[in-house]
A = this chain, B = another copy of it.
Amino acid sequence: METLDENAAVISASKVTGTNVYNTDGDHLGEIYDVMLDKRSGNIAYAVMSFGGFLGIGERYHALPWQLSSTTRQGGYVVGLTVDQLKEAPTYAANELPAGGIAPLITA
């Protein structure tokens, strides 16, 4: 059924937020914390994934490109990112901007 939250073409930011993120091995990496919007172009700049629990390093954030985040599986998004890659990737805390800007940090 189509609702205000989602249809075939669009999805609300509030529905995206909180969605689980997995890698292609099925590991749970984190959740979508927020969606960053480009003020001028009207494009989605990137999605922000929060993680930290399983890494034991406190809550950290990781920028994910929107297009790569749009593959869904088991009720979540799937990204091509291993746990080791995530541990080594640039991350940022809640009061920081993404290190190195908003370039995609994962590859398909």
Contact = CB atoms under 8 A, between A and B. Distances in A.
Interface of A: 2-5, 7-14, 16-17, 34-40, 42-45, 48, 61, 66-67, 70, 92, 94-97, 102
Contact of A11 (B11, B17, B39, B102): B39
A2 B66 CA distance: 22
B44 A4 contact: no
A43 B48 CA distance: 16
A8 B36 CA distance: 12
B17 A14 contact: yes
Q: How often does this chain occur in the complex, in copies? A: 2
A7 B37 contact: no
Contacts of A14: 13, 17, 34
Contact of A96 (B4, B42, B92, B94): B4
A7 B40 contact: no
Contact of A4 (B61, B66, B67): B61
Contacts of A7: 97
7 contacts: A3-B97, A4-B94, A10-B38, A10-B102, A13-B36, A40-B70, A43-B43
